[in-house]
C-alpha cells in the first residue's frame, strides 16, 4: 500500500522567522528550529518521499492560491494567534481535500484548551485532577478546591506560564498568581488540585481502534530544591541538567500507559501524539494534558526522546506517522 514515492509538503512555524519580527523567546517557545525541519525532511527522504518545504499557514495560503498541491502534508505548524491556532492548517487542508498528518481541526482546537479537554476526559470517566477555571481576578475567591493548587494558562504549551509560583498554598497566593497570569497571557487560568506524585509522559501512535502506546518515560528531577520539581518552561529548556528520563516497568507505569491510551481514543487523536500524566497523593495516575502536535526535534523533543528510550528510532517514528496518515486515507 502506497509504495510509490509521495510528494509530501511540510508545514511548520520557524522560530527564527518570528524572532526576527520582534516576538520574544517565550512567545515563540512552541515554534520549530531549522534542525527539526531538516530532520523531518531527511527522514521522509529516507522513506523514499520528496519533502517540499511550505512553511507557515500564511505560506500555505499563498501556495494553495498559486495552485500547488501535495500527495500528503506533514503538518507541525503551531500558529501564534488565538485558541484555534493549531487548527488553522488542518482546516485549510480540509477545505482543499488534501490529506495531512495528525489530528483534525476539531481535535486541535479542543485540546489546546486544557479545561475543555479535562471536561471531556472527566465525562468519559477517566481520572484527572479536580479543577476550576478563573476568567477574572474576582473569580479566584470563588475557587472551592483544597490547597495546594497548581495554576497555568488554559491554552499554552511548552510549559509557558508554569514556574515555581504556579504551586499556590493560600487564597492570597491564588489571587496574586492568577492575576499575574491573566494579565500576562490574556486568557483564563486553569486551577487544579496539585498532584504530588510520579510524573509520566506517554507516546501514542495510530488512530482510533488501531491506536497503541509506543512507550512511556518517567520524568524525575535531578535538583532537590523546589524550583526544579516542576516541568516548567525553564526546566524544559534546560532539561539536560535538570531532568532525568527513565523507562519504568512497574504496575503504576502500566496504569499510566493504559489511561493515556484510553484518553487518546476518547479525544480522537490521530497518527501520533503525547499525553502527560501525574499521580495523585494516593499514587493513582491522572491525566494532565494531551499534545496532538508533539514536538519532533530529533534530539530535544519529548516524543522522540521517549521513543528512543523505548527502541524506536527517529526515522521509524516518522515512518509510523506517515503510515498511519495514509491508512486513514485508504
CA dist., res. 73 & res. 52, Å (int): 9
Alpha-carbon distances, residue 69 vs 8, 21, 44, 60 (angstroms): 9, 29, 17, 10
CA dist., res. 220 & res. 150, Å (int): 18
Start-end of CATH 3.30.1490.20 domains in the chain? 130-193
Q: Does domain 130-193 have CATH number 3.30.420.10?
A: no
For 180-221, how does the pLDDT look when each residue is reduced to its tens digit (9 = 90+)? 999 999 999 999 999 999 999 999 999 999 999 999 999 998
The CATH code for residues 196-329 is 3.30.470.20
Start-end of CATH 3.40.50.20 domains in the chain? 7-102
Start-end of CATH 3.30.470.20 domains in the chain? 196-329
Is the previous residue joined to 148 through a cis bond, with omega within 30 degrees of 0?
A: yes
pTM over cut 0.75: yes
Dihedral sign (CA 56, 15, 295, 306):
positive
Q: Which fold has domain 7-102?
A: Rossmann fold (3.40.50)
For 78-114, how does the pLDDT look when each residue is reduced to its tens digit (9 = 90+)? 998 888 999 999 999 999 999 999 999 999 999 999 9
Q: Flag whether pLDDT at 227 surpasses 80.
A: no
Amino acid at each position: 500500500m502506497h509504495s510509490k514515492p509521495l510528494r509530501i509538503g511540510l508545514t511548520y512555524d520557524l522560530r527564527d522567522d518570528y524572532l526576527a519580527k520582534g516576538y520574544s523567546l517565550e512567545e515563540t517557545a512552541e515554534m520549530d528550529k531549522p534542525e527539526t525541519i531538516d530532520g523531518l525532511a531527511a527522514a521522509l527522504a529516507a522513506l523514499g518521499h520528496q519533502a517540499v518545504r511550505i512553511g507557515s499557514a500564511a505560506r500555505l495560503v499563498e501556495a494553495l492560491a498559486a495552485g500547488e498541491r501535495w500527495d500528503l502534508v506533514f503538518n507541525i505548524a503551531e500558529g501564534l494567534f488565538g485558541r484555534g491556532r493549531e487548527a488553522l492548517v488542518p482546516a485549510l487542508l480540509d477545505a482543499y481535500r488534501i490529506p495531512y498528518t495528525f489530528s483534525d481541526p476539531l481535535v486541535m482546537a479542543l485540546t489546546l484548551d486544557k479545561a475543555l479537554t479535562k471536561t471531556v476526559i472527566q465525562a468519559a470517566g477517566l481520572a484527572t485532577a479536580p479543577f476550576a477555571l478563573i476568567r477574572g481576578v474576582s473569580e479566584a475567591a470563588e475557587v472551592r478546591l483544597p490547597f495546594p493548587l497548581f495554576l497555568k494558562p488554559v491554552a499554552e504549551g511548552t510549559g509557558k506560564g508554569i514556574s515555581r509560583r504556579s504551586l499556590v498554598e493560600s487564597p492570597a497566593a491564588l489571587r496574586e498568581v492568577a492575576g499575574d497570569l491573566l494579565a500576562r497571557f490574556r486568557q483564563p487560568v486553569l486551577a487544579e488540585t496539585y498532584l504530588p506524585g510520579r510524573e509520566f509522559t506517554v507516546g501514542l501512535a495510530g488512530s482510533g481502534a488501531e491506536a497503541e502506546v509506543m512507550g512511556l518515560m518517567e520524568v524525575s528531577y535531578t535538583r532537590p530544591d523546589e524550583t526544579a520539581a516542576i516541568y516548567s518552561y525553564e526546566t524544559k529548556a534546560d532539561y539536560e541538567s535538570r531532568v532525568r528520563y527513565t523507562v519504568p516497568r512497574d504496575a503504576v507505569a502500566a496504569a499510566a500507559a493504559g489511561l493515556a491510551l484510553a484518553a487518546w481514543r476518547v479525544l480522537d487523536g490521530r497518527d501520533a501524539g503525547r499525553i502527560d500524566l501525574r499521580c495523585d497523593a494516593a499514587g493513582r495516575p491522572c491525566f494532565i494534558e494531551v499534545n496532538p502536535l508533539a514536538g519532533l526535534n530529533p534530539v530535544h523533543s519529548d516524543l522522540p526522546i521517549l521513543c528512543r528510550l523505548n527502541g524506536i528510532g527517529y526515522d521509524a517514528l516518522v515512518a509510523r506517522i506517515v503510515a498511519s496518515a495514509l491508512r486513514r486515507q485508504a
